[in-house]
Amino acid sequence: MNKPLIIVNFKTYQRAQGHSAEVLARAMGSVQTDARLVAAVSALDLSSVVDAAPNLEVWCQHLDPISFGSNTGWIHPETAIARGAKGTLINHAEHKVSLEHVAMLLDQVPEGFEVCACAAGMEEARALAALVPDYVAVEPPELIGGDISVTSADPGVVSGTVSAVVQTNDQVQVLCGAGIKSGKDVTTAMSLGAKGVLLASGVTKSPNPSESLSELVSLL
């Protein structure tokens, strides 16, 4: 748990879906690092990515707190777990849910299954931390997918979120997201108190994902 955590969100980028998701997962699995690498993939690709990269930790991008039954189009936690998911993202800026949704999901998933709840800023991070997920990832929406890292554009939102979360529940760890592209971004995030990063396009859009991943962890 002390290793820096780097979550690569595959989103629905063309280079990170279907067969390409398997190729990207294998590239992640080949990176030599002491950091903990996690691939957050589409539920549709979960099984194939787990099979393609058995040495890589794989999470689902989203889950719903539902029971078995009439829930067309929703993603059941037990099904994801059976397909190899070790954790999930929830409340990403591109898939917002209610605090009740997050709370119900946390009540439903088994011990050891990790949940990273995403927050747009400090106040939302504080509210999510009160529910005690494993991680809260702060990602200012205006910087997601951009070329400027939150660690450069607004380092105060990272350190401020760390303080807000620790004051709420010191068992919850903070991740930093939005615009993370380099090893310096990763180490800066950690110097501000984050335990790791959540990123996407810096890897999923890279012409050489293995090289980009290696650079991301090069200063750890």
Q: Please state the domain extents for the chain.
A: 5-216
pLDDT tier at 35 (50, 70, 90 boundaries)? very high
If you average pLDDT over residues 168-194, what whole number do you get?
87
Active-site residue, 92 included: yes
Q: Which of 22, 62, 76, 92 is catalytic?
A: 92
Q: Which of 22, 57, 124, 139 is catalytic?
A: 139
Task: For residue range 124-161, list pLDDT tens digits in order.
Answer: 999 999 999 999 999 876 655 555 566 665 678 888 89
Q: Which of 18-22, 29-33, 150-154 has the lowest mean pLDDT?
A: 150-154
Say which residue the tokens 């999923």 belong to: 204
pLDDT at residue 145 in the model = 55
Average pLDDT, rounded, for the chain: 91
Assigned superfamily of 5-216: Aldolase class I (3.20.20.70)
Q: Which residues of 114-153 are buried (b: 16+ CB within 10 A; e: fewer)?
A: bbbbbbbbbebbbbbbebebbbbbbbbeebbbeeebbbee
pLDDT at residue 153 in the model = 57
pLDDT at residue 163 in the model = 93
pLDDT at residue 185 in the model = 85
Percent of the chain surpassing pLDDT 90: 70
Q: Which of 73-77, 161-165, 174-178, 211-215 has the lowest mean pLDDT?
A: 174-178
Which alpha helices (DSSP H) does the chain contain, by range?
18-29, 46-52, 77-82, 99-108, 122-129, 150-153, 155-168, 183-191, 201-204, 209-216
Rg over alpha carbons for the chain, rounded to the nearest Å, is 16
Task: For residue range 66-80, list pLDDT tens digits in order.
Answer: 999 999 999 999 999
Report yes or no: 9 and 89 within 8 Å, Cβ to Cβ. Answer: yes
If you average pLDDT over residues 24-45, what whole number do you get?
95
In order, the DSSP letters of 114-167 are EEEEEESSHHHHHHHHTT--SEEEE--GGGTTSSS-HHHH-HHHHHHHHHHHHH
Residue with more model confidence, 55 or 219: 55
Report yes or no: 100 and 108 within 8 Å, Cβ to Cβ. Answer: no
